[in-house]
Structure 1
Amino acid sequence: MSEVKSSQDEEFREYVAARSAALHRAAYLLTGNWATAEDLVQTTLTKTYLAWSRIRTTDSVDAYARRILYNTNASWWRKRSNREKPTEVFEDRPDHSRDFTEHSAVRDAMWRHIAALPKRQRAVLVLRYYENRTDQQIAEILGISVGTVKSQASRALAGMRKRLGTPTEALGLAMEPRKAA
């Protein structure tokens, strides 16, 4: 019995080593915060470990873990309204160059607009454009139909276009007129 448990534990360790980085990236894109992403991945891996003896022999271990990740995030998201809200965000490694400032402004503006999307639309965009998943894979991970994946992606992109307007409006940047050469 203990040999079987050791074998299962080793398989789980191998799974964590192979998929942990991808789970962390997806969690960060969903939460926008590394600390929350770490908590989300830990919870996901704990729940996956508890079900490991049932799911380890299936081909859908990764889909199961991702489903837990997205469902747990949705559950946490519903509970966040009672949490403390930060008033300022500080970069870990500030860089005062203009390129960094512009890049940071673009990234932050995009993240604000993505974060404002409904949770399922946000999950579909993260899976499609960050993880390069097919519509079929996204449907399996989220437990929805392929048609729903397509409609959620379409609605999310339309909402982003509507919110963003022109790039300068979206970023709140004033563009200087170009001088003739």
Structure 2
Amino acid sequence: MERALEFEEFASSRTRRLFQVAYLMCGDWHQAQDLVQTALAKMFAVWPRLRRREDEPGLDAYARTVLLRTYLSQRRLKRSTEVVLAEMPDSPQAAAHGSDLKLTLAAALGQLPPRNRAVVVLRYLEDHSIEAVADMMGISAGAVKSLNTRSLARLREILGEDRELLFRL
């Protein structure tokens, strides 16, 4: 019983931030909810072990890593069934929860491949170092730098005249 209460406290205090990161990575309200739920379920399964080994910042980092890997894993599985749209559909939930800036950036991020999108979100919106992102993604720091450079160049192309939005990241 104590395990469940302790985990519930952890999950309720982190869910909103995890959802924000998940939404920026996937660009879909419902998929972001599913990603957070899956990540938290995976953590709950190993919670006693995590609590013994990790401090609060370590648990937060572990939660983001589980979220990221769940997202990338799902993207690999769904790659063959995706439908490419010329424009992002309007989302009533997104409009209700964000400004035009957030919507423009979310739409631009949605056009990046999953790994590129994850690097941008973790580097600039979550403010992690190159080394931390490399560790979370299980790739080298050089690969993170390369993905980051290509992602920012692509975002500049996508945003065109609105590219000053990148400086607000």
Q: TM-score range by the shorter chain?
A: 0.7 to 0.9
Aligned-residue CA RMSD in angstroms? 3.0
Q: CA deviation at 1:83?
A: 6.0
Highest Rg: 1 or 2?
1
Show the counterpart of 1:155.
150
For the structure 1 residues 90 and 152, does the alpha-carbon distance in structure 2 shift closer, same or farther, using more than 3 Å as the test? Answer: closer
106-115 vs 133-142, which deviates more? 106-115
Show the counterpart of 1:82.
81
Number of residues paired by the alignment? 156
C-alpha distance in 2 between matches for 1:45 and 1:130: 21
C-alpha distance in 1 between matches for 2:33 and 2:39: 10
Show the counterpart of 2:19.
24
Q: CA deviation at 1:23?
A: 0.7
Structure 1, unaligned runs of 5 or more:
1-5, 169-181
Picking from 59, 64, 67, the partner of 2:65 is 67
* CA deviation string 1:123-160 (max 9, x = no partner): 11111221122223222322233333222211211222
Greater fraction helix: 2
Instruction: Establish whether residue 127 from structure 1 lines up as the match of residue 127 from structure 2.
Output: no
Higher relative contact order (CA 8 A, sep 6+): 2
* CA deviation string 1:50-75 (max 9, x = no partner): 12122222233222222221121122
Q: Following superposition of structure 1 onto structure 2, how do residues 90-101 of structure 1 map, counting pairs within 5 Å? A: 90-92=91-93
Q: Indicate if the aligned counterparts of 2:94 and 2:103 stay in contact, CA closer than 8 A.
A: no
Q: With structure 1 as the length reference, what TM-score do the two structures score?
A: 0.70
Percent identity among equivalent residues? 36
* CA deviation string 1:32-60 (max 9, x = no partner): 12221111111111111112122222233
Where 1:116 maps in the other structure, the secondary structure is: coil
Show the counterpart of 1:45.
40
Where 2:53 maps in the other structure, the secondary structure is: coil
Q: With structure 2 as the length reference, what TM-score do the two structures score?
A: 0.75
Q: Indicate if the aligned counterparts of 2:22 and 2:67 stay in contact, CA closer than 8 A.
A: yes
Q: Indicate if the aligned counterparts of 2:19 and 2:32 stay in contact, CA closer than 8 A.
A: yes
Q: CA deviation at 1:10?
A: 2.6
Q: Following superposition of structure 1 onto structure 2, how do residues 95-110 of structure 1 map, counting pairs within 5 Å? A: 104=100, 107-110=102-105
